[in-house]
Amino acid sequence: MLERSYFDWNATAPLRAEARAAFAEALLVPGNPSSVHAEGRAARRLIETAREEVAELAGARPGDVFFTSSGTEANMLALTPVVEVAGDKRPRSKLLLSAIEHVSVRAGGRFARDAVEEVPVDTQGRLDLAALADAVAKSPRALVSLMLANNETGVIQPVAAAAGIVHAAGGLIHVDAVQAMGRIDCDMAELGADLMTLSAHKIGGPKGVGALLRRSDDIHIPDPLIRGGGQERGLRAGTENVAGIAAFGAAAAVARRQRAAEASHMLALRDRLEAGLQAIAPGAVIFGAKAERLPNTTLFTVPGMKAETAVIAFDLEGVAVSSGAACSSGKVQPSHVLAAMGVLPPLTHGAVRVSLGWSTTAADIESFLNAWRKLASALSRGQPSAAA
């Protein structure tokens, strides 16, 4: 079989060896973490160790980490009109989102549709801070949700500046750090985040585990999504996914230790990839190229290319890339992120996302560029298989 090169790390990262080992070990612990006997306490210990590791990765305190079933669930949990701060129980009537949020934030959580308002981004895909200031001036107590890095373009958002604006008005800010965590420095306090979402499978943990973090214990969500046995201090009922959480913790510990080295490894390879990409097709456009981006992400197109056919062409050459967001793969729709950046069809239909990770090699970059050379040459000859 053809050796494959995986360039879809923003959809999901491979499981780290340390996470796999922690998962396997945790499966052997028979107890329920809520039980008081030794078996139960052993399971509880695994969860609390993981809580410490995840907290440390985000610069939070363990008591402010709540495990969920996914980043999606953490977003849904956070986006509620009733987030109490220091005992203030007044509901918030407005949810402000950047126009480039992940679908799990765009869905608006538990806010009514007409209570959700979008704040625009510039042509590089960065939040428009002046527009945010205008929006919070009209809705000073709004809950604002802003991602730290975009999943399609990798563009890093001005979260600390946004948090300053939101707090000055009397609002609250939730930060979806799912794509940024482990790739850039993400310290909750430095960012000024009140709430933060993480997902295990983007940092080398298993799929189906996430976490919601809060700035401090004066923040309280009184209305959980899942009620029952009171697990996760009442915020998320249901017997915990002990193995998944233990593996999340193990992945978080590695991600924290290796973040700087992995980021420079990815950046060097990504720079090589982009230089090669444009040398082969000088007309290639890299979206958000003038903005600060994650070290691992490139979203690009060339005029005339169709994303679905390009993804298939790469796949046949042993190279896994994606057309924009993973959630919309399969049913390819024009990206709301590119539309928000002012990119017009047909260019929006041709965007291909290449995302790297810690185990990407120089040979993978060569495989990508070889496949791209073939595809770009077919495109320049106007071959229907590539241009469709």
Note the residues at the interface with ligand PLP (CB under 6 A): 70-72, 75, 102, 104, 147, 151, 176, 178-179, 199, 210, 326
Tell me the CB-side half-sphere exposure of residue 386, using CA atoms within 13 A: 19
Instruction: Supply 146's token pair.
Output: 């802003």
Query: Which residue's CB is nearer to ligand PLP, number 250 or number 280?
Result: 250
Whether residue 214 contacts residue 28, with contact meaning beta carbons closer than 8 Å, is answered with no
Instruction: Report the C-alpha gap between 245 and 258 in whole angstroms.
Output: 20
CB nearer to ligand PLP: pick between 175 and 376? 175
Tokens found for residue 380: 């320049």
Shorter beta-carbon distance to ligand PLP: residue 296 or 309: 296
Whether 186 is a known active-site residue: answer no
Helices (H), 170-282: 188-191, 242-280
Nearer to ligand PLP by C-beta: 31 or 295? Answer: 295
Closest to ligand PLP by CB, 147 vs 369, is: 147
Is 124 within 8 Å of 262 (Cβ atoms)? no
Grouping H, G, I as helix, E, B as strand and the rest as coil, residue 222 is: coil
Cis peptide before 346 (omega within 30 of 0): yes
Residue 337 CB, nearest approach to ligand PLP (Å): 11
Find residue 213's DSSP bridge partners: 65, 196
Cβ at position 74, least distance to ligand PLP in Å: 8
Beta carbon of residue 347, minimum distance to ligand PLP (angstroms, whole number): 22
The one-character DSSP state at 349 is G
Which residue number places its CB atom closest to ligand PLP?
71
Residue that has been written with the tokens 């796949």 in this structure = 315
In the complex, least distance from residue 344 CB atom to ligand PLP, rounded to whole angstroms: 24
* Rounded least distance, CB 172 to ligand PLP, Å: 18
Distance CA 357, CA 166 (A): 33
Shortest approach of ligand PLP to residue 170 CB, angstroms? 26
Strand 219-220 versus strand 84-85 pairing type: antiparallel
Amino acid making up residue 247: A
Structure tokens at 334: 């024009």
Cβ neighbours for 267, distance < 8 A, ≥ 6 positions apart: 295, 296
Residue nearer to ligand PLP on the CB measure, 248 or 314: 248
Catalytic residue (choose from 103, 327, 362, 363): 327
Q: Which residues are marked as active site?
A: 327
